[in-house]
C-alpha cells in the first residue's frame, strides 16, 4: 500500500519532508479487522492541528505514524463479523490507499441513489454536521436575523449559509476572491459576500449590515473575526467553529491563544450585565434572603464612616484595600 506518514511536526506552514510518502506491505489482518480500499480522503484544516502537539481535542498524530484523516472506502477483505467485502465504510482513517481497521471510529456509509459518493461523504461526513449543529444549536438563528460566516465558500461555510437562508436569516459570507463570492451569492443564495482579499471587511459590513450582526459563525479568527465582533449586536451569538488563520502558528513553546483555548475546551462564554435580569430580581431577593435567614449565606461589609472619605475609599477597590462589600456610612443608621 501507499501511505503518508508524519515524519516530523511542522513549524509554521507544512513543509516538504514533514510528511513522507512510501510504499509498504499491507499489515496482515487479525481477527476482528477488515481492510478498506480508500476511495476518498478528506483533507481538513484540522489536519495541521493534529500534526502539532499543541493542546487539542484528540491525541496528536504520533511522529512516525500514518497521518490521520477522514476516509471512505470499500471493504476488500474482512475478518470481522458483520463486515462483508464490498461494504462501504467511512470515518477516521489514514492517508493511505489501503488501510486495516477494527472499525473504531468508522461506520457504514449507505449508498444513496442520486447522490454521488463524493457529495454524500463530503457533505454528510463531517462538514454537514458541523454546520448543522454549530449554527442551529449554538447559533440559535431566528428569521430576520443577520448571520455572518467566513470561509464562506468552503466545506462548512457553504452549508452554514444555506441553512441560514432556510432559517430565514440575512446571510453575509466572507471569502477570498471574486469567484468564491460570486458562487455563494449567485449559486447558493447568500444575500451578499465580502471579498476580504480586495475589500475592506469592516467597511463592507457597515454597508451590508448597518443593523449589526446577530450571529457570527466563526471559522477564521484574526482580524476578520475582530471586524465582525466590532459589529455584533447585544446578545448576539458566536459559534466558535474554527480559527484557520491561526493554525499554522500552533507549534513551538507558545501558549495557545485565548480563542484557541476556548475552542479546544468548548467553553461557553456569555457576557452579561446584572440588569439583564432585572425582571427576576424578586426571585434572587427571595432566595438570597432565605439563605441569609437560614444562616447559609454570610456576608461581610467593610463600612467606612463619613462621606468625606468616599474619594479615598473608592481607590481601595483597585488595590484590595477593602475586605468585603465596601460601603460608606454617610449618616448613622
Ligand atoms: P474550508 O473548505 O473552508 O477550507 C478552508 C478555507 O479557509 C480556505 O479555502 C480559505 O478560504 C479559508 N482560509 C484559509 N486561511 C485563511 C486565512 N488566513 N484567513 C481567512 N480565510 C482563510 O475548510 P472547512 O470547511 O473544512 O473548515 C472551515 C473551518 O471550520 C476551519 O476553521 C475548520 O477548522 C473548522 N471546522 C471545525 C470543526 C469543528 O468541529 N469545530 C469541524 C470542521 C471544520 P478563502 O479562500 O475564502 O480564504
**Residue 77, pLDDT score:** 98
* Same structural domain, 118 and 134: no
User: Do 143 and 114 share a structural domain?
Assistant: no
- Are 132 and 269 contained in the same domain? yes
Helix runs in the chain, H state only: 46-51, 117-119, 127-133, 155-166, 178-182, 201-208, 222-229, 258-264, 281-293, 310-316
Q: What is the pLDDT of residue 255?
A: 73
Predicted pLDDT of residue 254: 67
Examine the domain organization and report whether 97 and 193 are in the same domain: no
Is residue 257 assigned to a domain? Answer: yes
Show the ligand 1 pocket: residues with CB < 6 angstroms: 44-46, 126-127, 130, 151, 153-157, 175-177, 180, 219-220, 224, 241-242, 244-245
Domain assignment of residue 44, given as a range: 2-124
The ligand 1 atom at the shortest distance from the C-alpha of residue 175 is 47
**How many structural domains does the chain have?**
3
Distance 95 CA to ligand 1 centre (A): 20
Output the pLDDT for position 199: 98
Q: Does residue 157 share a domain with residue 55?
A: no
pLDDT at residue 248 in the model: 86
* Residue 106 vs residues 67, 70, 133, 206, 280: alpha-carbon distances, Å: 16, 9, 20, 45, 48
The answer to whether residues 191 and 171 touch, using CB atoms and an 8 Å cutoff, is yes
pTM for the complete prediction? 0.92
Tell me how far the alpha carbon of residue 194 is from its chain's centroid. 21
Is residue 9 a contact partner of residue 35, using CB atoms and an 8 Å limit? Answer: no
Give the pLDDT score at 249: 79
The reply to whether 201 and 219 lie within a common domain is yes
Residue 114's pLDDT is what? 93
136 and 110 inside one domain: no
Same domain, 145 and 266: yes
By the 10 Å C-beta count (0-12 exposed, 13-18 middle, 19+ buried), 120 is classed as buried
Q: Quick check: is 294 in a domain?
A: no
Centre of ligand 1 to C-alpha 289, Å, is: 51
Q: What is the pLDDT of residue 253?
A: 60
Same domain (yes/no): 204, 325: no
CA-222 nearest atom, ligand 1: 19
Per-residue pLDDT of the chain (333 residues; tens, 9 = 90+): 999 999 999 999 999 999 999 999 999 999 999 999 999 999 999 999 999 998 899 999 999 999 999 999 999 999 999 999 999 999 999 999 999 999 999 999 988 999 999 999 999 989 999 999 999 999 999 999 999 999 999 999 999 999 999 999 999 999 999 999 999 999 999 999 999 999 999 999 999 999 999 999 999 999 999 999 999 999 999 999 999 998 887 665 667 789 999 999 999 999 999 999 999 999 999 999 999 999 999 999 999 999 999 999 999 999 999 999 999 999 999
Give the residue from 124, 148, 168 where a domain finishes. 124
- 149 and 254 in a single domain? The answer is yes
Measured in Å, residue 154 CA sits from the centre of ligand 1 at: 6
Q: How many residues does the chain have?
A: 333
CATH number at residue 169: 3.40.50.720
Buried b / exposed e over 222-256, threshold 16 CB at 10 Å, is eebbebbeebbeeebbbbbbbbbbbbebbbeeeeb
| Residue 117 located in a structural domain | yes
C-alpha 322/C-alpha 238 separation (Å) is: 37
Which atom of ligand 1 is least distant from the CA of 155?
25
Q: Quick one: 112 and 136 in the same domain?
A: no
Q: Which of 98, 124, 150 is the last residue of a domain?
A: 124
What is the number of the ligand 1 atom nearest to the C-alpha of 219?
32
Q: Give nearest CA residue, ligand 1 atom 36.
A: 242
Amino acid at each position: 500500500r501507499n501511505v503518508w506518514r508524519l515524519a516530523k511536526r511542522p513549524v509554521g506552514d507544512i513543509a516538504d519532508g514533514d510528511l513522507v510518502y512510501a510504499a509498504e506491505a499491507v499489515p496482515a489482518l487479525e481477527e476482528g479487522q477488515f481492510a478498506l480500499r480508500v476511495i476518498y480522503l478528506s483533507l481538513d484544516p484540522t489536519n495541521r492541528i493534529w500534526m502539532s502537539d499543541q493542546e487539542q481535542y484528540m491525541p496528536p498524530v504520533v511522529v512516525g505514524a500514518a497521518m490521520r484523516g477522514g476516509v471512505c472506502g470499500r471493504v476488500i477483505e474482512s475478518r470481522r463479523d458483520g463486515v462483508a467485502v464490498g461494504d462501504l465504510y467511512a470515518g477516521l482513517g489514514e492517508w493511505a490507499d489501503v488501510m486495516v481497521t477494527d472499525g473504531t471510529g468508522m461506520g457504514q456509509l449507505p449508498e444513496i441513489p442520486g447522490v454521488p459518493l463524493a457529495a454524500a461523504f463530503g457533505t454528510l461526513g463531517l462538514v454537514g454536521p458541523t454546520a448543522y449543529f454549530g449554527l442551529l444549536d449554538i447559533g440559535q438563528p431566528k428569521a430576520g436575523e443577520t448571520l455572518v460566516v467566513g470561509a464562506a465558500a468552503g466545506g462548512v461555510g457553504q452549508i452554514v449559509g444555506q441553512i441560514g437562508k432556510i432559517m430565514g436569516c440575512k446571510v453575509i459570507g466572507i471569502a477570498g476572491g471574486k469567484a468564491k463570492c460570486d458562487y455563494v451569492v449567485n449559486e447558493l443564495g447568500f444575500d451578499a459576500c465580502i471579498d476580504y482579499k480586495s475589500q475592506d471587511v469592516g467597511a463592507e459590513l457597515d454597508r451590508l449590515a448597518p443593523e449589526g450582526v446577530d450571529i457570527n459563525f466563526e471559522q477564521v479568527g484574526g482580524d476578520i473575526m475582530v471586524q465582525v465582533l466590532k459589529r455584533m449586536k447585544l446578545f448576539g451569538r458566536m459559534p466558535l467553529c474554527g480559527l484557520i488563520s491561526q493554525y499554522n502558528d500552533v507549534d513551538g513553546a507558545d501558549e495557545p491563544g485565548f480563542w484557541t483555548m476556548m475552542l479546544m475546551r468548548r467553553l461557553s462564554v456569555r457576557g452579561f450585565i446584572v440588569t439583564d435580569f432585572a425582571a427576576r430580581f424578586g426571585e434572587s431577593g427571595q432566595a438570597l434572603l432565605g439563605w441569609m435567614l437560614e444562616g447559609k449565606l454570610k456576608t461581610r461589609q467593610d463600612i467606612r464612616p463619613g462621606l468625606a472619605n468616599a474619594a479615598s475609599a473608592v481607590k481601595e477597590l483597585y488595590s484590595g484595600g477593602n475586605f468585603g462589600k465596601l460601603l460608606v456610612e454617610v449618616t448613622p443608621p
